[in-house]
């Protein structure tokens, strides 16, 4: 009889069984979903809106495009894409967490955005779409929570159309030591306290801080994208490298 091989991965700074990570991450986002938008504005002092605006500007999105906003959460990018692609386009807000999807659906419907948006619960490692489906895929602040990042990137490459592009907006490594020290102090002292006061949940925000530190740096992520087939892969550091926007094409 073939013996099952146990594999482990990181959940923040903890080492856990790989099969457990998805449910552990799900618990985090079930917990933070209701206060997610409020905390985003507080944690980033509103700067996350500029990072997302740069992602939209770098996407090349046009009327009629088909877009996948993966790990789209409460739908900030989906809302913008919906307005740009028009009636002939389609944007799918995909997320593995049904609590986040529910918050996103309610928010976008309250904005009157209903005609060209679909909501699909999905795992980034096994996207439920045919090959060559999308013109653009974005994943903003979601890749670091995926168990097998290379598998997810390969799945994204598969469902992109030839000529399509992937944009990965994610926390990364500050490009100066002084900024890194300030950022560490903020992440591990201020952030969990804010989570406790605003969302009554310090542990989830402790995990979010740890998950950022365990995420691949800019060059490593670029190479991971290249390895699964992306070409002309580049990245742009935002806010001193606290966040990086990676872009790659499928040809």
Pick out the residues of the known binding site for S-adenosyl-L-methionine.
Answer: 74, 95, 123-124
DSSP letter assigned to residue 53: H
Please report, in range form, the residues annotated as the binding site. 74, 95, 123-124
Give the 3-state secondary structure of residue 58. Answer: helix
Q: Are 222 and 246 in contact (CB under 8 A)?
A: yes
Count the neighbouring beta carbons within 10 Å of the beta carbon of residue 41.
13
Report the candidate in 248, 97, 241 with the shortest Cα–Cα distance to residue 177.
Answer: 241
Q: Are 98 and 72 in contact (CB under 8 A)?
A: no
Q: What are phi and psi of 5, to 5 degrees?
A: -90, 125
Distance between CA atoms of 235 and 247, rounded to whole angstroms?
Answer: 6
149, two tokens: 């990042």
Strands 243-249 and 231-238: antiparallel
Q: Are 211 and 201 in contact (CB under 8 A)?
A: no
Count the neighbouring beta carbons within 10 Å of the beta carbon of residue 77.
27
């Amino acid at each position: 009889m073939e013996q099952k091989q146990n594999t482990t991965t990181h959940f923040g700074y903890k080492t856990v069984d790989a099969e457990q990570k998805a449910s552990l991450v799900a618990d985090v986002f079930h917990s933070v979903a209701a206060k997610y938008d409020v905390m985003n504005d507080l944690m980033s002092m509103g700067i996350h809106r500029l990072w997302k605006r740069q992602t939209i500007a770098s996407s090349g999105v046009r009327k009629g495009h088909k877009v996948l906003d993966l790990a789209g959460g409460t739908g900030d990018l989906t809302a913008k894409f919906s307005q740009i692609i028009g009636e002939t386009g389609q944007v799918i807000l995909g997320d593995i967490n049904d609590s986040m999807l529910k918050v996103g659906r309610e928010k976008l419907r309250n904005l009157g955005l209903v005609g060209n948006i679909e909501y699909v619960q999905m795992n980034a490692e096994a996207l439920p779409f045919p090959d060559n489906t999308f013109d653009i895929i974005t994943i903003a602040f979601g890749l670091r929570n995926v168990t097998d990042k290379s598998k997810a990137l390969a799945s994204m490459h598969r469902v992109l159309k030839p000529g399509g592009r992937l944009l990965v907006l994610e926390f990364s490594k500050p490009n100066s030591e002084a900024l890194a020290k300030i950022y560490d102090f903020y992440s591990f002292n201020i952030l969990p306290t804010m989570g406790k006061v605003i969302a009554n949940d310090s542990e989830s925000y402790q995990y979010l801080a740890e998950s950022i530190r365990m995420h691949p740096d800019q060059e490593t992520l670029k190479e991971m994208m290249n390895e699964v087939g992306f070409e002309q892969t580049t990245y742009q550091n935002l806010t001193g490298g606290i966040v990086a926007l990676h872009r790659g094409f499928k040809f």
